[in-house]
Structure 1
């Protein structure tokens, strides 16, 4: 009953902004990118996702997983997948952030007004904006970032995010868009599932509840493929995740109070990554207390973060960044209750095996049985641009890095 009441609302909210013209060289097939939040790369080895595993075996997959950008958290990485830029460059530097040019404002995932404001996104150009500007039609089903009119452009079809919409309902909405007449059908579509990340946080990466959601997500992918086949729609499919998941517990907590007077710091975000600014006049005190390696914690000045993390130049990044050891979290004794820390978390070093993300590609454009090594999330957007026949803005990824994924040209 709830779902029947919800669908008319969704239909009314499916904002449509038709492109003025179709690109001169439109792709032969639609490109569909499926984002599965929190799908750790080695989940694929559990035998619970036969559909995705078969696509990986028959098509292309990232051997050992795809390296996410750092910090390995949701909004920064989903925007990296769409823009081909590291968070340091596209501006979504964390799930919680502030901007010196936007005093009094804080971007958080729960603040709908901020999430839907283009000011946070305009430093990057997501693939749907590139496609729309080229005259292609696009559809985004809840992809992080797609709710804002980035650089003044929206997808042809989009929906404001509503977490309560079931996974299968999201599939059906996308299939509805793909069933439109050819002259209205999207040529690029994205689909986003958040249920696996939620299960990973609540129960941990190895819990039976998380495994059950893995099965559900795989069934949703199968339903999409079956729906496309029933409609005689051949598509190139790219399946990605933003990061993995690591087990955490209240026994693995670092307290900043043990190292620095908490009144000397203004913390923007806690967790596996802590971002903070010293209180004015106490900079030397805070730096002396925090910088360097501590048990289960490493802190840097923003300009001295290791180069391999590609992070530290954006003005939205606070003065000091601390990274917890994988499986640990960081807080203060006043606000952090160890008894409430359980399940899973991410944000850790993007070289950690637990943080590696999923990459699978399948369709006529792709080779068969291809394993890509050293796959990086910044390489996804150039790959999508190649599939769509677009010239995308230069970013941190390279189309050549995924050239081995493509099918050999037909003689």
Structure 2
């Protein structure tokens, strides 16, 4: 842990933000920076190397950047909540895009009632709740959890998720918040893009459709930058651009069939694919464990209490009795739900290169040209808290006293 902490501190060393000159409509030397947390869902770290992201690449070149390890399972809701709480899924409670709670029932990302129920989210405190408690206004342009009154607190401004809303329209909504009077403008804003993940699933990480989605989001980032410049806010804005996970290519030829391993009637599948959560049907526990537990080609299955420690998963009651991890690029599914065409998936081992996410920090005080190594997604929340100058609950990431050297 020490080398990772020390490395990040050196890489993200910031000057005193309170004294950084800014250009703003209401210039005040003691104004804190505006902080924008931008997520590009499914943006694999090496997408930056493809020569199709001029805006993101410029921000990375002028700021601090590096690949970032997501939490396990490397799926959307758990990792977005990790980014804003500093906790691994086992500790913040959102252990999957689908999960079962003995009291609350079943959660899925498409279940509006569950998504807006704070009880699913209250095991962790997202950065916007910490900020609002500290009197800092926040705004969320889509982010998992932001539609619930977590711990009784909502962002000052928030928007119900609408996947059909174009990227530029999302940027324009953020810029509208920036047009508010200084005392009403949010100091912390989140912005979320999902199209790269969507196309990556449908076509795979190397498909031209995915490349076009990458270009589209990059153009929206350019629109955001130009909008901030036009408002005189760019020089006082810290952009923190992340993704939740990467993407691996899948194929109908790389499938392990659940039916060939165990009778599907003997198990309750919470979700399956790259990572699989399942529970034995009552009375068939011994049969299911005998069939599943252990290693076989392209698949490992464990009791929740025996998941390898590096995954930091297994103590939360929402984790199913058995968890299976497929080899990157492979799928574990039933013949009733076959893989019919090449595409992409995530959820795999979070140490896999294909699952690596991006991290870019750019703005006042960020040392230019820093290249980060061994960065973990649990490190983002304490970094945001330091930028905002607020206290936030201690998470699983870098300790507050160590991060103190990175900001004012």
* TM-score, scaled to structure 2: 0.90
Decide which structure has greater strand share: 2
SS at match of 1:224: helix
C-alpha distance in 2, partners of 1:259/1:215?
A: 42
- 1:12 is matched with none
Residues 206-221 of structure 1 correspond to what in structure 2 (within 5 A)?
Answer: 206-221=206-221
Q: Report the Cα offset of residue 50 of structure 1.
A: 1.1
- 2:77 is matched with 75
1:170-216: CA deviation from partner (whole Å, max 9, x where unpaired): 00000000110001000000000001101101111001111111111
Structure 2: which 5+ residue stretches go unaligned? 1-29
Asked if the contact 1:81/1:380 (under 8 Å) is kept, the reply is yes
Q: Report the Cα offset of residue 403 of structure 1.
A: 4.7
C-alpha distance in 1, partners of 2:322/2:243?
A: 28
Asked if the contact 2:69/2:356 (under 8 Å) is kept, the reply is yes
Residues 1-400 of structure 1 correspond to what in structure 2 (within 5 A)?
Answer: 28-62=32-66, 65-102=67-104, 105-233=105-233, 234-333=236-335, 335-339=336-340, 341-399=341-399
Q: Which deviates the most, 258-267 or 289-298?
A: 258-267
Asked if the contact 1:244/1:346 (under 8 Å) is kept, the reply is yes
Asked if the contact 1:147/1:159 (under 8 Å) is kept, the reply is yes
Question: Residue 150 and residue 369 in structure 1: after superposition, are their counterparts in 2 closer, same or farther (change >3 A)?
Answer: same
Question: How many residues in Structure 1 have an aligned counterpart in Structure 2?
Answer: 378
Q: Report the Cα offset of residue 338 of structure 1.
A: 3.1
1:340-379: CA deviation from partner (whole Å, max 9, x where unpaired): x421110000011000001000001311111111000000
Question: Residue 174 and residue 304 in structure 1: after superposition, are their counterparts in 2 closer, same or farther (change >3 A)?
Answer: same
Structure 1: which 5+ residue stretches go unaligned? 1-25
Q: Which deviates the most, 270-279 or 124-133?
A: 270-279
- Tell me: higher relative CO, structure 1 or 2? Use CA pairs within 8 A at least 6 residues apart: 2
C-alpha distance in 2, partners of 1:211/1:302?
A: 37
1:297-316: CA deviation from partner (whole Å, max 9, x where unpaired): 10000010000000000000
* TM-score, scaled to structure 1: 0.89
Question: Residue 144 and residue 174 in structure 1: after superposition, are their counterparts in 2 closer, same or farther (change >3 A)?
Answer: same
